[in-house]
């Protein structure tokens, strides 16, 4: 295999959680473009089906599987269904998550539980189920979705920052535990990426400028920026890399 070929995802079965919108939607299409057969996972079958159709129209392969990542039973049933359909699972982009800016004084128990259940608990148990399947077939690769907020303190984002800090540590611990099973676990940590979910805030000129002022490269992140790192971590090119949290922040955390 040439070095360039090692970046290909041809014949790889890859799961993408949170694939119904935003970063997950866009990255799923890029993974399919790199040759993967993509298992699209989210709660909304209709939104996932739109993504599937776009992938297939571009010549790629994708299938729809629904799951509620706040339910461990739903997670395990979903992974079992994918394993039965595909025969093996080669990779997971654990992308599903949420953000909700709330001043720390105003955070309620419900706010805390909602975000932690999806961002941290759901991410862990989906990775656990996928890794158990990977172990049976000789290994695999997991890319967790973190954020620069797991490294840098961001005002009014206490719960989100805590959840992503947890993802960072999970990445390291899982990488250490699962290395003997030939399972690589890494994470990506993007800065603000313009998506339908972030548009409301980023379309505010004052807010947008406040963000750009903190990024030395003076631009927002893109789906392509994120997808490039995900493809690397789920491809054979990263076979000697595990336990890494890769910042994609344009330099936000340099200072």
Say if 214 falls within a structural domain: no
Say if 217 falls within a structural domain: no
Say if 62 falls within a structural domain: yes
pLDDT value, residue 4: 87
pLDDT value, residue 41: 98
CATH number at residue 117: 3.40.50.720
How do residues 169-227 score in pLDDT, each as one tens digit? 999 999 999 999 999 999 999 999 999 889 999 999 999 999 999 999 999 999 999 99
Active-site residue set: 160
Say if 208 falls within a structural domain: no
Q: Is the pLDDT of residue 1 over 80?
A: no
3-state DSSP call for residue 40? strand
Domains: count for the chain: 1
How do residues 45-64 score in pLDDT, each as one tens digit? 999 999 999 999 999 999 99
Please give the Cα distance from 172 to 112 (Å, whole number).
23
Say if 84 falls within a structural domain: yes
Q: Chain-wide mean pLDDT for the chain?
A: 96
Say if 206 falls within a structural domain: no
Domain range for residue 231? 5-193+223-248
Residue 91's pLDDT band, with cuts at 50, 70 and 90, is very high
pLDDT value, residue 255: 80
Could you tell me the CA-to-CA distances from 85 to 26, 167, 172, 228 in Å, in that order?
23, 29, 30, 27
């Amino acid at each position: 295999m040439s070095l360039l070929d090692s970046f290909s995802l041809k014949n790889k079965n890859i799961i993408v959680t949170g694939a119904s919108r935003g970063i997950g939607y866009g990255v799923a299409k890029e993974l399919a473009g790199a040759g993967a057969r993509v298992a699209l996972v989210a709660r909304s079958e209709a939104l996932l089906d739109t993504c599937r159709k776009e992938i297939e129209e571009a010549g790629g392969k994708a299938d729809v599987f629904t799951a509620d990542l706040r339910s461990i039973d739903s997670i395990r049933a979903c992974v079992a269904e994918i394993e039965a359909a595909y025969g093996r699972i080669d990779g997971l982009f654990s992308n599903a998550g949420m953000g909700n800016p709330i001043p720390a004084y105003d955070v309620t128990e419900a706010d805390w539980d909602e975000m932690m259940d999806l961002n941290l608990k759901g991410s862990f148990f989906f990775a656990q189920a996928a890794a158990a399947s990977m172990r049976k077939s000789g290994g695999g690769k997991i890319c967790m979705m973190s954020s620069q907020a797991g490294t840098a303190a961001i005002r009014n984002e206490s719960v989100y920052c805590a959840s992503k800090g947890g993802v960072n540590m999970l990445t390291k611990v899982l990488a250490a535990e699962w290395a003997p099973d030939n399972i690589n676990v890494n994470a990506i940590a993007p800065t603000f990426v313009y998506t339908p979910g972030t548009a409301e805030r980023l379309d505010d000129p004052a807010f947008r400028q406040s963000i750009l002022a903190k990024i030395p490269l003076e631009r927002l992140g893109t789906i392509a920026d994120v997808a490039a790192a995900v493809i690397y971590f789920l491809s054979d090119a990263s076979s000697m890399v595990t336990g890494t949290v890769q910042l994609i922040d344009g330099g936000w955390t340099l200072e």
